[in-house]
A and B are shown apart, each in its own frame.
Chain A
Amino acid sequence: GQQVMQIPQYQHVQEGEDFTTYCNSSTTLSNIQWYKQRPGGHPVFLIQLVKSGEVKKQKRLTFQFGEAKKNSSLHITATQTTDVGTYFCAGPNTGNQFYFGTGTSLTVIP
């Protein structure tokens, strides 16, 4: 079945350093979504990418969708303590089930 893998599983960075998480799918995705889950909270939608090679920015966050639509990345520039949490990518299969990635847990050290 479809799998969506994320790396790394954990990342510790000093405040101000950059952070990147990568998402890889075993199949081509029609679109990919990113969610953020704060510690003790629930996943919250961040953004959706649809087009091959698409790049979107939200302030310090940059999201990319690969040319083959099988991988994606989230890059955070100059991390802040408010960026702490787990970041998930998610992609749909043909049955409209969303497969969530395994997540990357980000810790920001002040």
Chain B
Amino acid sequence: DADVTQTPRNRITKTGKRIMLECSQTKGHDRMYWYRQDPGLGLRLIYYSFDVKDINKGEISDGYSVSRQAQAKFSLSLESAIPNQTALYFCATSDGRGGLTDTQYFGPGTRLTVL
């Protein structure tokens, strides 16, 4: 959906560098998520935030940190990138009104390569 944007779309970096991936949304949703996608492993949740003051670890948070700067912005940082963090990263949002039945809306993805 064009309502969820991610920058950059592609990034190549070196081991040990600090990297920030940014996500913005104009859907007015409270809930935002960061996933990584690896071949054969599907989508795995890294962090999620239900509102500006709420940050939660997901399934694979080690090596990552996040910041929810505003309702519309949720950034993911790799403090010291390593090659096995090479993956496709997706940001997603949901409105939270459905609770456990929330539909997730994904951004276009950021392809990150760590050399």
User: Could you list which residues of chain A lie within 8 angstroms of chain B, going by C-beta atoms?
Assistant: 1, 4, 6, 9, 30-31, 33, 35, 41-45, 48, 50, 88, 90, 92, 95-103
How far, in whole Å, are A95 and B41 apart by their CA atoms in the complex? 21
3 tightest Cβ-Cβ pairs between the two chains A and B: A100-B43, A42-B106, A102-B42
Question: Is B104 an interface residue, CB under 8 A from the partner?
Answer: yes
Q: Supply 13 further A-B pairs (C-beta < 8 A) apart from A45-B104, A96-B99.
A: A30-B100, A30-B101, A31-B101, A35-B104, A42-B90, A43-B106, A48-B103, A50-B101, A88-B42, A90-B104, A92-B101, A98-B33, A103-B42
- Residues in B with CB closer than 8 Å to A97 are 45, 48, 56, 58-59
Q: Which residue in chain A gives the minimum CB-CB distance to B101?
A: A31
Quick one: given A31-B101, A96-B99, A97-B59, are A43 and B40 in contact (CB under 8 Å)?
no
- Residues in A with CB closer than 8 Å to B40 are 9, 102
B101–A48 CB distance below 8 A: yes
A33–B44 CB distance below 8 A: no
- Chain B, range 50-86, C-beta contacts under 8 Å to A: 50, 56, 58-59
User: Could you list which residues of chain B lie within 8 angstroms of chain A, going by C-beta atoms?
Assistant: 33, 35, 40-45, 48, 50, 56, 58-59, 90, 99-109
- Residues in B with CB closer than 8 Å to A31 are 100-101
How far, in whole Å, are A35 and B37 apart by their CA atoms in the complex? 14
15 contacting pairs across A/B (C-beta < 8 A): A1-B59, A33-B103, A43-B106, A45-B103, A45-B105, A48-B103, A50-B101, A92-B100, A92-B102, A95-B56, A96-B102, A98-B33, A100-B42, A102-B42, A103-B43
